[in-house]
Structure 1
C-alpha cells in the first residue's frame, strides 16, 4: 500500500463552502506540450457560513504556478502555501478578485482527467475532480459560477476552438493564432467545464423548440467521419422533443454541441452545452456498428442531453448525492429508449444489466448504498449501484405515486431547485409534497446497501374462493451494515385463469372488483399477507411484473406454472421471466448432474414460443438462456467448470432437438434489409442470429455452412460479427481464416477492431489466455486507449469466466500484471479493470487463494493511487 493512505471522505462531515465564486474568467494559450491557463476568480465569503479563520484553500494538482495576485497586487511567497494538493492563501478579505496563471502539459496527461490530448485533439474531462488539474479552484459541486472562457491556439493546428455556452467573440491574431471567447450564462460547478481544440469536421442541424426558438445542433468528429453521425444527430433531436413532451423541459442555449474523441475513460460527459463523447457512442453505420451499438448511441446521446436539466441546471450538493443526477437520468434514458423500441424488450435488457452488474456488487465487499456514507476516491462510486439501482429507486417512486403525481413531483423539483446544488432528500421531498404521500420509509432504499430477497408463496381456499399471497422480505447483511430494516416497495402482480385470461386482482374488504390486469401492492413490513377474493379456481400469479422492485424473488411456482406463464402471460417481462426461471432451474440441474437431459415438455414449450407470431426481439430474449455469470450468482460457491459444461450442453441439446425450427427461423429472417433499424428489422436480426447460434452449438453441418455464408456476405456488422463470434467459438481453420479476413477488411476502423480484440478475448478455449498475451503485443493494441484496453483485458476478465478463472490462476496473474502496468498511467481505468478479482470469496478455496494472492501482490507492488488503494483494501479486509 502507499506510504500515506488517502483521506476518508464522510457524508456526515459535509460542511457548506466558506467561500463562493460568482464569476470565472479563463484564458487558455493552448499547446499540447505547454499550455498556460490564466484564471480570474470573483470570490466572496459565503454568508450562510459563520466567520472563519480568514484563509482560503483551493484544490490544485500537477499545476506549475507562474503568477498569483489578489485584487491586482502580486502576492509574496509568504502570503500563501503551495503543496501537491493545492494552494492555501493565509489571509483574504470578505470579497476579492484572485488572478492566477499556471502551466500544464496535456500531452503528458495519461490519466485522461483535466486537459489532455486524444490523438491530435485537446479536450477536457473534469468530472468528478478533474478541474483541479487545470487551475486552482474550489473543486466541489456546490460552488456554482458563471464562466467566460477564451481559447487561443495555432489556427492551422487547432482550427476549431469550443467551450461551454455561446460564442461571443472571434479574432484572428497576427502570429498565426486565433482567439475564440465563449460565455455560459448559467451558473455551473467546475466539473461541468469543458473545452475542445482540434481539426474537426462539423455535422450541423437545427432544432425548433416548443417555444419556437431555433437551436443549432453540432456534432464534431475527426475528419472524414461526419457521414457516420446521422444516427447520433437523429437520436439527439428525438431526445430533445421527448424531454419537452414527457417532462416539459426545453433546451436553454443557442447551440448544443457533441464532440467525439477516441481516448475517453467513460462513455460520455454532459458538460453544459458541450458534451464530450467516447467516439464509440457517436460514430455508426450498418457496416461499422452493430444493432446493439445503434441502441447504445441513442440511449447515451439521450442520457447526456437529459442531464441538461437533471445534473446541470440542478446539480448535486456533494458527490454522495451522485445518484440524484445519475440514477434519475438513467431512469429518463430508459423511458426514452422504451419509447423507441419495444417497452418489454427494453425493460428486459435493463434488468439483465442490473442483475449482471449491480446484484453482484451488492453481494460483495464493495456493496454500498445508493447514497454512500463515505469514500476514499469518488471515481470508484460511478457504479451500477449509483446508476442502475438509483434508476430503479426513481422507477419505484413513479410506480408508487402514479404517473400524474410523479409528473407533478418532477415539475415541482425543476421549479423549486433550478440553479441549485441539492440533495436526494430535496428530490424525495418534492415527490411527497406533490403526491401527499409519506416516503419516509422509502428513503431507506438510499441508505441501506444490499439486494432485498423477496419470498412469495400462495395458497388457494376452494371453499372461500380466496387466494392468499404471503410475502416476506429480507435484506442480507453487507459490509458496515449488519442490521437492516424493512423497505417500502411496489409489488406489481397479475392473476391468470385456467384459460390464460387476466383476472381482477380483488383484495378482501374492497366493495367491488377492479378491472382485470396488473395491480400494484405495497410491501412495507417484514412479512405481509394479501387475500384475493372472487376466484372460482386457483389462479396462476404473475409476480413482480415489469420488475417493479430491484429484488431477488423466490417463489413457489411449479414448473407447470412457469410453462403456463411462458405461454400465456400478457406481460412481456413476465413471459421472459418465466422462461428464465425454467432455463435457470434446468441449467442448475445440469450443473449438479451432468447426465441429466432436457425434459420433453420443456423442449415443446420452447418450440411453441419459437413458432409464436410475436415480436421477434421478445422471442429472441425469451429463448436466450441466462449467461454463465448469471448462473454463478445463483450458487453459494461458483462452479466454474460445471456451469460452462451445463451451458454448452444446453445449447447443444436445444439446437439439436429444435433443428428444423431453427433452420426455418433462420430462413424466414435472413433476408431482412441489413440497413433498416426499425424495431422489427432489429428484432428479426436478433432472432436470426440466435437461431444460427443454436445450430452452430449443435454441431449442425448446415449451421456451419450458413455461418460461413453469413460472414462472407458482410451485409452489415451485426450479422458479420455474430458469425465471427460463432466461428471463433467453434475454433479451427474457419476461425483463423475469418479473424484474418475481418482484420484485413476493417483494420482502418479502430472501433471495429476493438470488437475483433474482444471476440478473441472471450473465446472459451484453453489457448485463449496465450492469445490474449500475444495480442498485447499486436501493432493495433494501444495501452493508452481505454477502449482498446477494455476490449482485450476487460473483456477477458469480465466476460470469459471459464478462461479467466482457469484453475491454475494464470488469468488472475495476467489481470494483476495489467493493473500494475496501467495504474501509474491511468488509475481510473486500472481500478475498473481490477473488479473481477474483488469477489474472490464466491469461489472454491483453491481459486480464493489464487485471487487473493494477486490482490496482495497489487497492494504491495502498486495501489499508489486512491482509486486502486480503496478497492484493494476493501477486497482484502
Structure 2
C-alpha cells in the first residue's frame, strides 16, 4: 500500500475518458458479480496505456470490443490495459465480497442490507474504473437480487425496467441521464418501510419523493420528508435551482461512516440524520435532520451538477454547500442560534486543527489518504470563506455570482479558482487578493492598539493582522479580511471613523495594519471587533471585564452581546486558574445577576449566554495548557456561578413554562434556556429534586436528556438511577442508546477506564458500527477532559489500544477518533510527551492504514515553537 503523498500541483487531466457505463450487478453476500461495460475514448494525442483503479477486486475477464483481451497487467491497486485503440468498449467482469467489507467503503453488506459509499475513492472497490471526479459518465445499472430478502433494489436516476426471474430473484434497471463522476454512484438493496410523497417544482414538474427506513420506523421519517420539501422550495426561492430528475430517494441505514452522501437521486443517510420524533429525538436532533437533509439536497447543484475537478478542490462543493445549508437553517429556525452554533464549531475544533500538525488551507496542497480531506477546515472554514464572499458582494451580488457559476460550469468538473472567477465576473469586484484564503492555512489574529487624547477628544485605533506560521506553511501574507466593526462609549453612544474606512459597519482589512481616527470622543471608546464572526479569525482586544459588560449592554447585534458574555466567562475562569477566583469583585457577580434578570424573557439569547465556554474553546485562547488545571478552574467557576447566582437562576427557571411538546423556535428557545438553567441549578441545594422532577415529567427527549446531563457532573446518585431507567426503556433502540453510551463515556469519574471497558461489552456495542464507536470512544477522546488527559497518561493509552484494533476494521473512523491525540501541540510538556509516546506506538504498528499513517506521522513530525503554539 503506497504511503506516497499526492499533490495538487501534480494534477494532470485524464489520458482517457469514459462517456457511458452499463453495469450489471448480481448481488451475493460473498461473491457479488459485477459486469461493467465502459465506452472509453482516448483524450488528446498520446500513446499511453489505459490505467484503471481497483482495490481488493477479483478479476474474472476482460473483453475489448467484444473479444477476450489479455494484454493486461494487474498491480496492487491498478489494472493496466495495454495497446488499446482510440475509441473502444471495455467489458470487465469481477467479483467482490460485500459481507466481509467492514471498512464500509465501496459495496458492503450490513444488517442484511447492501449499501454503497463511494466518496472519495470507494468505487474502485466495486469495479475497475477511472475513479477520479473529473471523469463524468452516464450510468445504466441493472441490479439482481433475491426478491424475498431484497424486495427493494435502488440505484441512481430513474427506474426504466423491472422483472422477475424463475429462480426467485428479481431485477430493476436504473438510468441516470446526467453524466456523473464515479464517487456519486450508489446502490441499495434491502427490505424497508417506505414513505412516499411528491413535490411540484416552480416550473410545474412533479417529483416523486421516496424515503426508505428500517421496518417499524416509518413514523420517525415524517419530519425528514417534510424537511426535504422545505429545502426544495428554499433552493428554488433563494437560488432559482430546481430538481432535475423524476424521483428523489433517501435511504436511512445504521452502518455508515459519514453523516450522509449526496449520490445523484439516491441519497444514503446515517439513520441518526433521518429518524426523529419527540420521544426519541432532541430538538438538536430535529435541527440536525433538517440541516443534513437540506445539505445533501443542495449538493444536487453544488456538487453534482457542478462537481470538483480533483479532490484538492473539495471545498468547492463542501464549503459552498455548508454555507447554503447554514443559510437555510437560519431561515427555518433562528439566525442567532445558528450563527453561535457554527462559531462554536470553529472555535472548538477548526482553530485546534489550524494549530496542529494537520493544518491545511481549505484547498489543501497534498494528501496521502483522500478520506483525510473531510475536515472542519475544508467544510466549516470553507463555509466561512463563502460567507465572506456573501458579505463582500451583498445578497444580490452573491446571487448573480452563483447564477454565473452555474451558467458557465453546469455539467463540468471545475476548481475553486473557477468559482472565484465567476463571482468576480458577475460583480466587477476584484477578488484576486481575497482568493488567498484558499491557499493560506492558519487562523489570522486581529490585534488592536488604542491611543486616546482626552484634551483633543480624539481616539486612534490601530487594527493589525498576523497569521502565525503553521505546520505546512512558515511564511504568511496579509489576508483580505472583512472585519465587522463598531465603537461605543461608556454611555452606549456609537461612533464611526472620520476617514470612512468603515463602510456599512465593515472594515476591509487587506494590509498588515490600518489606523482608524475618531473625533468628538469624550471618554475612551470600546471597539467591538469581528461582529457576528465576520471572518474566521481570533481577536486580541484587551478589554476589561467592565468594558465587556458594557458591550453586552449596548451592542446592537445579539451575537456580539453573546460573544461579550463568553469573554467575561473566559476572564473569570482565568482568575480561577490564577487562584484568585474567590477575589472576583461582587460588582461582576451583580452585573451577571442583572444580565440574567434583564434577559429573563429573552429565552434564546439568555439560553445561549448562560452556556459557559467549553474546555475546547478555552484551550484556543491559551498556550501550553495544563488540561487538568484548566478543567478544574472551569469547574470551580461553574460551581461559583451556580451558588452565587442561585436565586436569580431559580426565579427565571420557575418563570419558564413549557407546554406540551412542539418543535417550533419559541418552544425550542424556552426548552433550551430551561435546560441550561437546570444544569446550573443541579449544583445547588434544589438540584436533586429539580432534576428528578424534570426526568419524571418529561414528554420529550430534549427534557429527558436535559435532566440526565444536569445530573451527570453534579449528582452522581441521581445520574446512576436515571441512567438505569433510561437504558431499560431504550435498550432495544440502538440509535437512542447512543445517547446513553455518550453520556457514560463523557462522565468524569475516577474509574472511567473500567467504565469504558464495560460499555464495550454491552450487547448493543460493536466495533463494526461507526455510530457506536463514535458514541463511546469518540465521545471519550474528544469530550472527557479529565479521563482522556489523566496525568498518568492512562487515558491516552486506552484510546491508543482501541485504535490499534479499530484501524484494522475501519480506518476512516479510526483516523477521526485519533484527532485529539494528534493535537498535543498546545498542551503542557508533560502531556505532550505522554501523547507522543502513544502516537509512536501507533506509528510503529505493522499494517497501519494510510488514513492513520498520514495523521500520526505528520503529528510526530511537527515541531513546536512559540509561534505554532
Same fold per TM (> 0.5)?
yes
Stretches of structure 1 lacking an aligned partner (at least 5 in a row)? none
Provide the rounded CA distance (Å) in 1 between the counterparts of 2:471 and 2:644: 47
Matches within 5 A, 1:682-761: 682-697=668-683, 700-761=684-745
What is the CA deviation profile of residues 765-816 of structure 1, one whole-angstrom value per residue up to 9, with x for unaligned ones? 1111210122111112111000000000000010011110001111111111
Look up the match of 1:622: 609
SS at match of 2:682: helix
Look up the match of 2:308: 316
- Given the alignment, which residue of 175, 178, 185 partners 2:177? 185
SS at match of 2:790: coil
Structure 1 length-normalised TM: 0.96
1:507 is aligned to 2:498: yes
Deviation at 1:100, TM superposition (A): 0.8
Look up the match of 1:787: 771
SS at match of 1:861: coil
Deviation at 1:665, TM superposition (A): 2.0
1:661 is aligned to 2:652: no
What is the CA deviation profile of residues 421-456 of structure 1, one whole-angstrom value per residue up to 9, with x for unaligned ones? 000000001111111111111111111111001102
CA pair 628-834 structure 1, distance change in 2 beyond 3 A: same
Provide the rounded CA distance (Å) in 1 between the counterparts of 2:747 and 2:294: 33
Deviation at 1:328, TM superposition (A): 0.5
SS at match of 2:21: strand
Provide the rounded CA distance (Å) in 2 between the counterparts of 1:710 and 1:33: 50
Look up the match of 1:592: 578
Stretches of structure 2 lacking an aligned partner (at least 5 in a row)? 862-869
SS at match of 2:23: strand
Provide the rounded CA distance (Å) in 2 between the counterparts of 1:678 and 1:251: 27
Look up the match of 1:267: 259
CA pair 31-501 structure 1, distance change in 2 beyond 3 A: farther
Look up the match of 1:815: 799
Is the contact made by 2:401 and 2:426 (CA closer than 8 Å) also made in structure 1?
A: yes
- Given the alignment, which residue of 562, 565, 587 partners 1:576? 562
Is the contact made by 1:453 and 1:554 (CA closer than 8 Å) also made in structure 2?
A: yes
SS at match of 1:794: helix
Deviation at 1:630, TM superposition (A): 1.5
Deviation at 1:551, TM superposition (A): 0.6
- Given the alignment, which residue of 858, 864, 872 partners 2:842? 858
Look up the match of 2:512: 526
- Given the alignment, which residue of 54, 61, 81 partners 1:67? 61
Provide the rounded CA distance (Å) in 2 between the counterparts of 1:597 and 1:126: 58
1:17 is aligned to 2:11: no
Deviation at 1:468, TM superposition (A): 2.6
Provide the rounded CA distance (Å) in 2 between the counterparts of 1:509 and 1:144: 50
What is the CA deviation profile of residues 631-689 of structure 1, one whole-angstrom value per residue up to 9, with x for unaligned ones? 122221112222122122211111112212222222222x4134211111111111111
Matches within 5 A, 1:324-723: 324-462=316-454, 465-503=457-495, 505-508=496-499, 519-533=505-519, 538-593=524-579, 596-611=582-597, 612=599, 615-669=602-656, 671-697=657-683, 700-723=684-707
Look up the match of 2:115: 123
CA pair 38-445 structure 1, distance change in 2 beyond 3 A: same
1:46 is aligned to 2:40: no
SS at match of 1:525: coil
Aligned residues: 860
Alignment RMSD? 1.6
Is the contact made by 1:590 and 1:597 (CA closer than 8 Å) also made in structure 2?
A: no
Provide the rounded CA distance (Å) in 2 between the counterparts of 1:727 and 1:179: 54
Deviation at 1:308, TM superposition (A): 0.5
Look up the match of 2:231: 239
Provide the rounded CA distance (Å) in 2 between the counterparts of 1:476 and 1:773: 41
Is the contact made by 2:259 and 2:270 (CA closer than 8 Å) also made in structure 1?
A: yes
Matches within 5 A, 1:250-289: 250-289=242-281
Deviation at 1:37, TM superposition (A): 0.7
Deviation at 1:735, TM superposition (A): 2.3
Look up the match of 1:872: 856
Provide the rounded CA distance (Å) in 2 between the counterparts of 1:508 and 1:354: 33
Provide the rounded CA distance (Å) in 1 between the counterparts of 2:77 and 2:660: 54
Is the contact made by 2:447 and 2:464 (CA closer than 8 Å) also made in structure 1?
A: yes
Deviation at 1:350, TM superposition (A): 0.5
Deviation at 1:464, TM superposition (A): 5.2
SS at match of 2:379: helix
CA pair 141-11 structure 1, distance change in 2 beyond 3 A: same
Provide the rounded CA distance (Å) in 1 between the counterparts of 2:103 and 2:602: 45
Deviation at 1:8, TM superposition (A): 1.2
Deviation at 1:845, TM superposition (A): 2.6
Provide the rounded CA distance (Å) in 2 between the counterparts of 1:604 and 1:397: 42
What is the CA deviation profile of residues 166-196 of structure 1, one whole-angstrom value per residue up to 9, with x for unaligned ones? 1111112221111111111111000000000
Provide the rounded CA distance (Å) in 2 between the counterparts of 1:639 and 1:296: 34
Deviation at 1:533, TM superposition (A): 4.5
Provide the rounded CA distance (Å) in 2 between the counterparts of 1:736 and 1:433: 61
CA pair 464-165 structure 1, distance change in 2 beyond 3 A: farther
CA pair 797-509 structure 1, distance change in 2 beyond 3 A: closer
Provide the rounded CA distance (Å) in 2 between the counterparts of 1:286 and 1:787: 21
Is the contact made by 1:615 and 1:680 (CA closer than 8 Å) also made in structure 2?
A: no
Matches within 5 A, 1:139-288: 139-288=131-280
Look up the match of 2:820: 836
Provide the rounded CA distance (Å) in 1 between the counterparts of 2:472 and 2:168: 60
SS at match of 2:24: strand
Look up the match of 1:776: 760
Provide the rounded CA distance (Å) in 2 between the counterparts of 1:553 and 1:763: 32
